[in-house]
Structure 1
């Protein structure tokens, strides 16, 4: 009887796996130690200047996320947002230590509010002392080269660790550096970006992890993939930190005509899925090959999450949805969660500005119902 019951239950699991996305990975294999968090990036503190804050997340927004079945937000922060500095002048090394407690309180209020709606919050330094993938900002030092920048980086993470010391692992995690890459010119967003030395990345991550775990040894720490989030970091595998991939491959689809990501955005080939884009052919097999190292990392028992994914609003909507279905399906089968960039805005489910979508009026917002339905499916 026991054997028959097991076979029956296992067969039901196999059937459910075909019906419910992610069921098999979540119920049978449990290979990814991180929860399969699903949600959005919120850009309230994305601008380095509080006067340019473009988004104010409300209780209503958080309630919609919860009611739609999501449980996660990633909070990408530009560290100058919470500095007390003269913003008419370039930031100096001394400025990096001048913390504006009022701005810190703003961030804490949003985290507390999100937790009240059952949403996990991943705090991310999108622009960290000495580094930002977007470049175009004046930085007084280089995180990958200057000890002073590294010390400032540790200072900021120690501050956040103390601020959220009493938050549980279910409430808050720390995503330390957004999309690390080596860039000689921090002020030129189109200057070549290459992988950081794995040994160097380990050194900096380890230093930050030590000050964080001193405040709360249970804090979940996430390291974005090397080479702008694309590559698994073998050098970190023994540090008990999770790693974060990206859902932007290929960029010819996800960043079609995006001016910050392409030197000649207006002359990019129109994306298709599956099919030939320029001189390359892309299909589901291409995606599976791209994500295989991340799936293998999760199989080793190292947490994996996709911290950013989606398409800028110039990509044809039908191409976007077909491609994104395959991305989410592959991640879900491996038990890997995701966070769409973003909630409201060019990549989002609300007010994306796409010209080829029939929007639904949602309490005054323009809702991309097809995209939302796709996300809810996974």
Structure 2
């Protein structure tokens, strides 16, 4: 009798352990290599059939075939809701359809609230930080997203609270994080939430970031586009739009002799970059603050955006990408390049033609 009782207790313990492990697996959201599905439900004027055709099931299957394990999906407030907070049902259908395609193809997905009516990372006028009505609206948007997505498995879908917050003071962002996380946790206690640092998710601001205590379902996230002279070389939307001169990676970005030969009109634009020197060790040094904070809290670290514009000097561009991927892997940092489909940064161009060399590097092949 005692032997039977001992066996029975052992089976109960084993069953409880198996059940506990299964629960942990269902809640564990982990990402390594990914890409952004940008300019679809964010930063795009496409609507109707044109929007629906831009990203299809074939694109998700293509991403999976490249060797990626997840996508980061930026979504804008104006695409998902009208100004009163009422859902645009056609956009929500695209969002949920994309999630289902990802689940079918064994891809995880990060839903990133990218641009708000009250906050855009490329402008200085962001009432989100000073208007309590806009702050409550932000929380309400997340509660509505949570209501729409909460039935999807925790180990497949994660939420990124906001892309590139640009608050004047760190506590403005911290207070909003604190409030929003608490509200989401009321109905989704184990959903993984990605929290980025203030000032464009810079590695330099990690020490000022509020991180919820005793919450293992958090991933800390940063973006990295340095050196800017290389990553945004001749980019039309930046002050570098007129620069078509040399840039070097690794090493000194611009030699003095090269700088001196440029016209005076360009000197003011690129002067701050001239003496900078970048290589793999320098990049890691810049990341060190973020790495330390993540380790201190026992949380995963993730780079949700990085990239070099396609028209930058090709050899320097590809060397930078190679160093970035090596650094991610050496430091156990998940990543998603910016982005999947784009003539500027894409793994495939706007017409879907692959940039094979870049794909091989970014996918870790």
Q: Give the TM-score band, short-chain normalised.
A: 0.7 to 0.9
Cα separation, 2, equivalents of 1:125 and 1:312:
23
Secondary structure of 1:75 counterpart: strand
Mapped to 2, the partners of 1:268 and 1:290 lie a distance apart of 27
* 1:374 equivalent in structure 2: 361
1:33-72 correspondence to structure 2 within 5 Å? 35-43=30-38, 44-47=40-43, 49-51=45-47, 53=51, 56-72=54-70
The reply on whether 1:202 has 2:174 as its aligned counterpart is yes
Distance 1:77 1:233, change over 3 A: farther
Q: Equivalent residues in 2 for 1:1-378 (5 A)? A: 35-43=30-38, 44-47=40-43, 49-51=45-47, 53=51, 56-84=54-82, 95-135=83-123, 142-182=127-167, 196-231=168-203, 232-239=206-213, 240=215, 241-260=218-237, 262-267=238-243, 269-277=245-253, 278-300=274-296, 301-345=298-342, 346-351=344-349, 365-377=352-364
Cα shift at 1:316: 1.5
Query: Could you say what secondary structure the match of 1:304 adopts?
Result: strand
Counterpart Cα distance in 1 of 2:355 and 2:303: 21
TM-score (norm 2): 0.78
Q: CA deviation at 1:175?
A: 0.7
Give, in whole Å, the separation in 2 of the partners of 1:292 and 1:66. Answer: 31
SS in 1 for 2:174: helix
CA RMSD, aligned part only? 2.3
Aligned residues: 308
Query: Cα offset for 1:294?
Result: 2.0
Q: Which structure's residues are more often helix, by fraction?
A: 2
**Is the Cα–Cα contact under 8 Å of residues 246 and 308 in structure 1 kept in the other structure?**
yes
| Structure 1 match to 2:16 | none
Encode CA deviations 1:66-120: one digit per residue, 9 max, x unaligned: 1222111111111101234xxxxxxxxxx24232223212211111111211111
TM-score, normalisation: structure 1: 0.76
Please tell me whether the aligned partners of residues 31 and 69 of structure 2 are also in contact (alpha carbons under 8 angstroms).
no
> Residues of 2 paired with 1:111 and 1:367: CA distance?
23
Name the CA shift for 1:111/1:73 in 2 (closer, same or farther; >3 Å).
Answer: same
Where do 5+ consecutive residues of structure 2 fail to align? 1-27, 254-273
1 CA distance for matches of 2:197 and 2:303?
10
Q: Deviations over 1:319-359 (max 9, x none)?
A: 1110111112112111101101111112111117xxxxxxx
* Cα distance in 2, alignment partners of residues 50 and 351 from structure 1: 17
Distance 1:206 1:279, change over 3 A: same
Structure 1 residue runs of 5 or longer lacking an equivalent are 1-32, 85-94, 183-195, 353-363
Cα distance in 1 for partners of 2:56, 2:44 equals 21
Q: 2:353 and 2:89 mapped to 1: Cα distance?
A: 35
1:47: Cα distance to partner? 3.1
